[in-house]
Structure 1
Amino acid sequence: MARVLITGANRGIGLALTELYLASGWQVLATVRAQSKAEALKKLGEQDASAGLAIYELDVTNYQQLSELANTLAGVPIDLIINNAGLYGPKGYGFGNCDVEAWREVMEVNAIAPAKLAEAFYTNLKLGDRKIFAALSSRVGSHSENTKGGGYIYRSSKAALNSVVKSLSNDLLSEGIKTVALHPGWVKTEMGGPNALITAQESATGLKAVIDNLTDSESGSFISFDGSKIPW
């Protein structure tokens, strides 16, 4: 049975990805910041007792907790890691009004934590068959497509994440591990809002198709849920 680790799996795209991979016969190692906020996730396991779902508590910026989870899963082959956990941060601010502490928090969640996640579960990926590290980014992190300005906090965090993914591709492809930064689309979630264009299920389906078809030559790429390539 193929095995995937998904962070931030209790809602939105993370929950949709969990449901999709379970339905596809995968074992899912799902992480949540608090078990008390994982009711929808727990129901997936209750609906099908044979579903390969394991839920772990993890704040991705708690590196001691991350290390402990890695120790718990030591020796367990993981075919795919999807870093879905993310933070948008403040909205509605303009130039000259960036909250520095909020900026630091968003950068840690969106860029530093994914790098530490890759480090923590690198040996598990080496034991897996498919060996893919995928990180949910956003096309607002594209320098080329930034034609409107603003959004300094979130934009810069996703640009940094893209750089992390690119470096990982250079460091890990020789060991058979592919990496990819994924744009999930504008999704109807708590972060995306009600005016977004697609559902979490539509996004998850597209993301899985991209991951399923990822080639060595695409490692380190920035790809949308619809399969189109996004310029850096």
Structure 2
Amino acid sequence: MPSILITGANRGLGLEWARQYAETGWRVLATCRQPEAAHELQALARRLPELSLHRLDVTDAAQVRSLAGALRGVALDILLNNAGIYLEKYAEPVLGLLDYDGWARTCAVNTLGAVRVTEAFLDHVARSEWRLVVTIGSHMGSITDIAAPGSYYYRSSKAALNAAMKGLAQALRPRGIGVLILHPGWVRTRMGGPNAPLLPEESVLGMRASIERFTLADTGRFFRYDGTEIPW
């Protein structure tokens, strides 16, 4: 049975990733900061025995190391870095009044968290058959695509994430480990809002197709959910 570990699996895209992979017979290790409050994920786990819940805050180095140790010996075919925050959704920053603590927190989750989890679980991925790290980025991390002001925290955290994952792809290629960066599109989740055109199931189905097509020739590349490549 192939296996996948998902960060931020308690809602939105993370929950949909967990559902789709568990329903197709994968072993799903679904992680989030507060499993006891993740009621939809708990219901999913009761229905799908292939799915298990695990506590993980990607900004807590000790917690990341502890879970990696608890899962020692487990082979992870896919490590899915999905956890992320977008503080500007609630209050767009104004020049002269930037919240540098909020900016640092955004980078701590979106950039450092994904790299920290990847580093901790490399041996788990290396012992699997698929050997793939998938990271959920955003087209807002594409410097080429910036055409308007704002979203400084989120944009810079995702651009830094792209750079880090591109570098990791080069480092991990000799071990046969691939790195795939995916933009899910504008999705109808709490982060995306009610006016988003895509449903979570549509987005995840598209991204899963990119995963199915992946070869090491694609490592370090950046794709939309529909398979088209995004400029850096």
1:111 maps to a residue whose letter is T
What amino acid does structure 2 have at the position aligned with 1:122?
Answer: L
Distance 2:128 2:59 in 1: 25
Distance 2:147 2:193 in 1: 22
Q: Is the 8 A contact 1:98 1:153 kept in 2?
A: no
- Determine the structure 2 residue equivalent to 1:65: 63
SS, match of residue 145 in structure 2: coil
Within-5 A mapping of 1:13-52: 13-48=13-48, 51-52=49-50
Contact persistence 2:32–2:56 (CA under 8 A): yes
d(CA) in 2 for partners of 1:226 and 1:96?
38
How far did residue 207 of structure 1 move?
1.1
Deviation string for 1:139-178 (max 9, x for gaps)?
0110111111221110000000001110110000110000
Distance 1:29 1:45 in 2: 10
Shift of 1:94: 2.6
Report the Cα distance in structure 2 between the residues aligned to 1:94 and 1:179, rounded to whole angstroms: 35
TM-score, scaled to structure 2: 0.97
1:187 aligns to what SS in structure 2?
coil
What SS does the corresponding residue of 1:14 show, helix, strand or coil?
helix
The equivalent residue for 1:131 is: 131
CA contact (8 A) 2:22 2:51 kept: yes
Distance 2:97 2:226 in 1: 35
2:217 paired with 1:217: yes
Match runs of 1:135-174 below 5 Å: 135-174=135-174
> Is there any run of 5+ residues in structure 1 with no aligned partner, and where?
none
CA distance in 2, matches of 1:7, 1:96: 34
Quote the residue 1:11 is aligned against.
11
Q: Which aligned runs of 4 or more in structure 1 are off by greater than 4 angstroms? A: none
Equivalent AA in structure 1 for residue 4 of structure 2: V
Q: TM-score, normalised by structure 1?
A: 0.97
Of 74, 82, 85, the residue aligned with 1:84 is 82
- Distance in 2 (CA, whole Å) between partners of 1:120 and 1:47 is 30
Alignment-derived partner of residue 120 in structure 1 = 120
Tell me whether 1:180 sits opposite 2:180 in the alignment.
yes
- CA–CA separation in structure 2 for the residues paired with 1:225 and 1:219: 16
In structure 2, stretches of 5+ residues that fail to align are: none
Give, in angstroms, the shift of residue 114 of structure 1: 0.8
Partners of 1:132 and 1:34 lie apart in 2 by 26
Structure 2 residue matching 1:29: 3-state secondary structure: strand
Matched with 1:196 is 196
Q: Secondary structure at the match of 1:9?
A: coil
Q: Deviations over 1:169-219 (max 9, x none)?
A: 000011000001110000011110011110111111111111111121110
Distance 2:73 2:67 in 1: 12
Secondary structure of the 1:144 match is helix
